[in-house]
Amino acid sequence: MDSSPPLLFFAVLAGMVLFGAAKPPHIIFIVADDLGWNDVGWHNDQMFTPNLDKMARAGVILNSSYVQPVCTPSRNCFMTGYYPFHTGLQHEVIHPSHPGYLPANFTTLPQKLKQLGYTTHIVGKWHLGFCDWKYTPTYRGFDSFMGYYNGAEDYFTHIRDNGYDFRFNTSVHHPPEGEYSANVISARAVEILDSVDPVRDQLYLYLPFQSVHAPLEVPERYENIYANISTKSRRQYCGMVSALDEAVGNITSALRDRGFMDNALIVFTTDNGGPTFTAANNLPLRGAKTTLWEGGTRGAAFVYSDNLLQNDGYTNNERWYGRGEPVAHRQFRGSFRTLGVPDPTEHHDIASDNPDVVSKLLGRLSFHKATMVPANFPPADPASDPKNFGGNWSPGWC
């Protein structure tokens, strides 16, 4: 594993070590797709995200959590703990007709958790390769998979370009006609909770939502929450965020009703910054998805668990960041604490004022470049055409 593991690995460590769980926690890892920094209620009170806000404010808000600037590289990190330049997935994203993949020699987090006795499930977006069955979720450590292989598909029809893309395990699957993606994902998550014993079993539930990636599609009732917004694309996007929040609320309610919350660790993050070129908002950060500015790589994120709560009169964020936090927590404050960015728009070049820091960073960059593997970004292969697989995006062509 690389020396800087991604958010989930540290969160698992925190849940299992810092808080002294009697047994390994249930891990629910929720990933929003293309969520902007300023598109959540704890950063922007104009956003209606009450379920996410409640957990973020009662949990630990990770204000300095960094992700990759686009989808596939971040998901690579979530699954392996390796930087994408060590797996060959550092270049853009895997397109439907391109035979790219997460190499099979890398052990994934669900594979490792299965060795520890976990039952493992994924509901939502994979985007780590599907040209061969061995690169698909149920061959990479998941007991079950319901979702899709690619990205940017229709939220209702599950069609991307000229092919259908939705599976249950290895079989083509058709959710109820006209059902919105966020609701399909939350319903399946609840179904999984009904199949797991919260006392006897340990659950790893990975929920990489389609929301809020383009295309901008959402039932009208969510869009109407933002009737005061004049721009339709922004109104739709905000509605998509609220639909995501409601789906998360349905899942967390089910977790609590079924007894999982007594020993659950919930991690929430985005895969990259918001695409302001569609309708996202990353203010006050500069840049957007696909850029290396803060707006492309600083992700809205938090960790929540009932087991973080202590009866000492402080919220979890006060306990971690302010006075009064337990000594056991202080040693990790540097990893969680807001670093304080005096120039969030990144307009002031301070390199000449800090030559020693620049030298150190360049040395670190050279160190990492020496370990970099070539990007695996092959050209499109016509063998991938869904026409060859009954109109479905399907493995079996590489």
Q: Is 127 among the residues known to form the active site?
A: yes
What is d(CA 133, CA 145) in angstroms, rounded to the nearest whole number? Answer: 13
Burial 117-138 (b: 16+ CB within 10 A, else e): ebbbbbbbbbbbbbbeeebbbb
Q: How many CB atoms lie within 10 A of CB 357?
A: 11
Catalytic residue among 86, 127, 213, 329: 127
Q: Is 26 among the residues known to form the active site?
A: no
Q: Could you identify the residue written with the tokens 């939350």?
A: 186
Under 8 Å between Cβ of 271 and 65: no
Dmax of the chain from CA atoms? 63
Instruction: Give burial (CB, 10 Å; 0-12/13-18/19+) of 91.
Output: middle
What lies within 8 Å, CB to CB, of 34 at 6+ separation is 71, 212, 213, 214, 270, 271, 272, 274, 275, 278, 280, 289
What lies within 8 Å, CB to CB, of 232 at 6+ separation is none
Under 8 Å between Cβ of 263 and 25: yes
Burial 147-176 (b: 16+ CB within 10 A, else e): bbbbbbbebeebbbeebbbbbeeeebbebe
Judged by DSSP in three states, 217 sits in coil
Under 8 Å between Cβ of 38 and 273: no
What is d(CA 254, CA 3) in angstroms, rounded to the nearest whole number? Answer: 36
Catalytic residue among 26, 43, 71, 158: 71
Strands 202-208 and 118-125: parallel
CA-nearest of 139, 2, 144 to 73 is 2
Q: Which residues are catalytic?
A: 71, 127
